[in-house]
Structure 1
Amino acid sequence: MDFHCHLDLYPNAREVYKEALLRNEFTWLVTTSPRAFEATSRVLGASSKILVTPGLHPEIAHDRAAELELLLEQIAIASAVGEVGLDGSPRFKHSYEIQLHIFESVIRRCAAVGGRPLSIHSRRAVKDVLSILQKYPGFGTAIMHWFSGTPAELKAAEASGCWFSVGPAMFESANGRALAAKMPPDRVVPESDGPFAKVAGTTVMPWSAHDTAERLATLWGVRSDQAAASLAYNSNQLLCLMGRS
């Protein structure tokens, strides 16, 4: 399974889509903008195994802010939302106020329509992400994608009920490994973040869950088949929360 993948952005997206259908029980195809969601839904489409969701990536918030109203309309009919969130890194600080407005609008809308699972970007912005989530307790279920906050922020996210999607590329850094080791083992699910994520220069593919299991096994001190079984169990539990059991 893969709980965060930009499948539509692979150079050979149609072929990767077909392969994901064969290899994966479930792939969450997150989009970067409302217009991209419309195009991807039209060109690739959803299936029983691939979920395509509307989002507005914080890295392009400044350029796509005018699409917010469209996103809010899409949320009403979508079963999940992603990728959304905040990015407080220096490169995107100039758009942070816009990001805050968009993210809070999204979370408010999710709460208003009964709650949605959300794949959330939180680079250098965990405190603000959690603050907004706490303002709207009926927003749904937060899945923190490639979490990179501090250990204290990880504890706060765990206490808030967040889930965590992790992929092979996260284990390339010492900080990523340290955070993955501290995550609640019953709320960790696999992701690829392909095609952006790379390991040793190679693009991570949507069927990389076995690689994630092997890397987590080392951190958890268990066999890789045990880690794989835990990820599978967690994935099925999250799919139940997403209404896709």
Structure 2
Amino acid sequence: MAWYVDTHCHLDLFPGIQQTVAEQDAVPIKTISVTNAPFLWRPNQQLFRSCRNIRLALGLHPELAGQRVHEMALFEALCTETKYIGEIGLDGTTTNQQERDAQLLVLRGVMAVLRTSPAKILTVHTRRAAVETIQELATGLADTPHQVILHWYSGNLTELRRAVELGFYFSVNHAMLTSKSSTALLKSIPRSQLLTETDAPFTFSPAVPDRLTSLRKTMKMLSNQWAMEEQECLHLVWENFSGLLKATH
């Protein structure tokens, strides 16, 4: 059976999630739910402890790096408890140099922890910082077994090609694929390195009120782009995700 795949969402930010955990776990989606800081790991672990289809990622979001850099010791202590890391990365929307320095310090700290860690799956934020983020990942994770997913990639084609050569995956969502620039980038992503995400709840709207609707919309867009049946697209993404899990087993 091919499942829908959501490699990047923020379930803990869903309104009323404490009452709807079972409902989220019951939809036919294999899910990686990211956390934005290490202090959120334990509450999330408790919240989703009984889930079969939801897995938690340990993260420290770049936009929180300046406030949470002191949690790197906690990140290292918790790292052995999961094979999923995220949300991590760099964000170039800030012009504050102190914040940029904190982001880089955190990302390098995460990679230093991972140098001696068993294989993990990373979901990485690169907004307006793709060149620098990909360079840091290429250097910091060289000769490690970790698998990288670039979440909602919006960088240039040159860096995309470099990431492809490095074996990185790319996760796309319905909101991303409404952009002409993103659909152009999609043409250069090998189908074998493509995954899906929702980035929910941030991509929700009256027309797309839940994750299943989001992923179905994404499949329709991929189907149109690739001239394939939607079920073929679903199977392809599922095979890619299954391969990723096997590579980090």
TM over 0.5: yes
Task: Render the CA deviation track for 1:89-140: whole Å, top value 9, x for unaligned.
Answer: 2366551111001001111211211332111001111222222222231161
RMSD: 2.0
Q: Measure the CA separation in 2 of the matches of 1:3 and 1:221.
A: 24
Q: 1:196·1:203 contact (CA, 8 Å) conserved in 2? A: no
Cα deviation code 1:149-186 (max 9, x no counterpart)? 01111101111110111111111211122222321101
Alpha carbons 1:68, 1:102 under 8 Å: kept: yes
Equivalent position SS for 2:153: coil
Give the 3 Å change call, closer, same or farther, for CA 226–37 of structure 1 in structure 2.
same
1:224 counterpart letter in structure 2:
E
2:154 aligns with: 148
Find the counterpart in structure 1 of residue 44 from structure 2.
40
Residue among 69, 75, 79 paired with 2:83: 79
Measured in 2, the distance between the counterparts of 1:107 and 1:220 equals 35
Q: Which runs of 4+ in 1 moved over 3 A?
A: 90-94, 198-204
For the 8 Å contact 2:145–2:248, the answer to whether it is kept is no
Long gaps (5+) in structure 1: none
Whole-angstrom CA distance in 1 between matches of 2:85 and 2:41: 10
TM-score w.r.t. length of structure 1: 0.91
TM-score of the pair, normalised by structure 2: 0.89
Cα contact 1:168–1:211 (8 A) shared by 2: yes
Residue identity opposite 2:187 in structure 1: A
Aligned position for 1:238 = 244
Residues 1:194 and 2:208 aligned together:
no
SS at match of 2:25: helix
1:156 to 1:59, Cα distance in 2 relative to 1, 3 A: same
SS at match of 1:90: coil
Count of residue correspondences? 243
Distance in structure 1 (CA, Å) of the matches to 2:85 and 2:122? 5
- Deviation, 1:202, is 4.3
Instruction: Tell me which moved more, 194-203 or 20-29.
Output: 194-203
